[in-house]
Structure formats: C-alpha cells, structure tokens
Amino acid sequence: MPNLPRLHPPRTKLPSRIGRRSEGWRFWPSLGLIIPLLFLNACVPLREPPALSTQRTPPSWLSHQSQMASIDSWQLKGKLAYRNDADSGSAWFDWTQDGDNFNIYLSGPLGMGTVQISGNPEAITLSQPGEADINARSSSALTQQLFGWQLPVDQMRHWVRGIPASPSSSVIKTFNAEGLLDSLQEDNWQLTINRYQTGPVGPLPSIIKGRSDDLAFTLLLKVWSFPDHHPQHDISDPSHSPNKSE
C-alpha cells in the first residue's frame, strides 16, 4: 500500500483507530486487477499536464449536460486514490448526496478506520467516534486544514456526473465518439474520463483521473443508486452480474 499522508502539527490530532461501520465494506474481486494499475499511475512524478485544444461541441451535448445536471440525489460507492510529491494513499468511499447536502463515509484513509464528512454549501464537519468534530467552511478548506493540500470535493460533485462544475466559457472540453465528455480543463485541474457505464439515468463515468500542479487523483466509481431506481453498476466489471449481490 502507498504511504499514508501525515497530518501537519499543530492541527488537531486524529486517533489511529476507530470502529468500522456495522454493515462493513464490500470489496469486488476485479479490483485486484484494477487497483494496482491505479497505483502504478500514482508512482509517476507530477508534471504540468498538456494544454487541451478546443473542440466543436457535439449536437447532443447540451441536452445530455442538462439531463445530468438535473440529477441531484444519489448514493455512490467507489474508491479514491491520490498522490502528491510527498504523500500518496487511498480510501473507499460511500457518498450520499441530497440536493446541496451530502454525507460521505471514508474507510481506510490515514490509518483512521472510518470517518464521516457531512456538509452543505455553508459548512463542512468531519466526525469520528470519541473525538471532537472538526469544522471548516468548505470541503477544500477541510482537506487543506488536515493534509496541507486541497482535494476538489466541491467540483467532484459535478465531475462524477460527467459535466463541468462551472458554466464558464473558459472551461475547455473535449468529447468522445458518443458525444460524452472525454477530457476537461477547469479551475487549474485537468481531467480525463476513461470509461462510462450505462444505466437508468444515462451514461455516467466509471473512472476519472485528475491532475493539478500539486496533486493527482483517480476516482473509481463502482455502484450508483438513485431514488426510485435499482442500483447502477459498472457493467464492464465482470464481478457485477445480475445474480451477484453487492
């Protein structure tokens, strides 16, 4: 496993052990093949990403973007791998979004067991049993306070749906043959969406890779659940079959 990141004193000291969620975490057999590839990428030194070139917007894009933007409630399970010049690590996540409110359980980061991050546009709180809550004004400010670098959690809310976080015309986008977002340059981040999965709400990303000058991350998006719909799996993963329960 990659070395886990270290908290920067005099910030709040976090305990090395906490209890796990009662229902536990489920692991998928095929991740034994996928996750090592993610960490091979994590070993490459950070470098400035190449600039994207402007591409004509496909006729279907505006309709698709509007459809994905209308999805504001979900549960998403997957894994996050990250690295910078000093640290690297990973965590399983279980992310519930309800409008502007969210709740994320992280399992495995920093050697802490399971932590809960909940919030809205006004405030973010990190909670763990037996410890005082840690509060911040935003998810990016929270990760800066804890680790010394910012993870773009606010933008990820849009990126996991395969759309930009900003409607600004300065956002640079390229598209694949199906008219879906293939790469994106926004807010000093360059993203690549490697694969999509299909389901009741339309195509959604399966793997997202992001890079900035200071940080790189990979999001592996495994299981989506939506109100009034059955769970949407990454159907390209052979471990997910109609007869296999999560």
Total domain count, the chain: 1
Q: Mean of the pLDDT values across residues 145-153? A: 84
CATH number at residue 172: 2.50.20.10
* Top-confidence residue, 51 or 120: 120
pLDDT of 223 higher than 60: yes
Q: What is the pLDDT of residue 43?
A: 46
Positive or negative: CA dihedral 6, 105, 238, 236: negative
Q: What is the pLDDT of residue 27?
A: 32
Core vs surface per residue 95-114: b (16+ CB within 10 A) or e? bbbeeeebebbbbbbbebbb
Q: Is residue 144 part of a domain?
A: yes
Three-state DSSP class for residue 157: helix
Q: Is residue 153 part of a domain?
A: yes
Q: Is residue 17 part of a domain?
A: no
Q: Mean of the pLDDT values across residues 172-196? A: 95
Locate all alpha helices (DSSP H) within the chain, ordered by sequence.
31-42, 61-69, 139-147, 153-159
Q: H helices then E strands: how many in the chain?
A: 4, 12
CB 159 within 8 A of CB 192: no
Q: Is residue 6 part of a domain?
A: no
Q: Mean of the pLDDT values across residues 194-207? A: 92
Measured CA to CA, the distance from residue 26 to residue 28 in angstroms comes to 7
pLDDT of 228 higher than 90: no
Band of pLDDT at residue 54, cut at 50, 70 and 90: low
Q: Is residue 9 part of a domain?
A: no
Q: How many other C-beta atoms lie within 10 A of the C-beta of residue 210?
A: 23
Residue range of the domain that includes 138? 58-233
Residue 80 CB burial class (10 angstroms; 0-12, 13-18, ≥19): buried
- Average pLDDT, rounded, for the chain: 77
Q: Is residue 2 part of a domain?
A: no
pLDDT of 142 higher than 50: yes
pLDDT of 128 higher than 70: yes
Strands 134-136 and 172-175, by their bridges, are unpaired
Q: Is residue 90 part of a domain?
A: yes
Q: Is residue 215 part of a domain?
A: yes
Look at the chain and count its residues.
Answer: 246
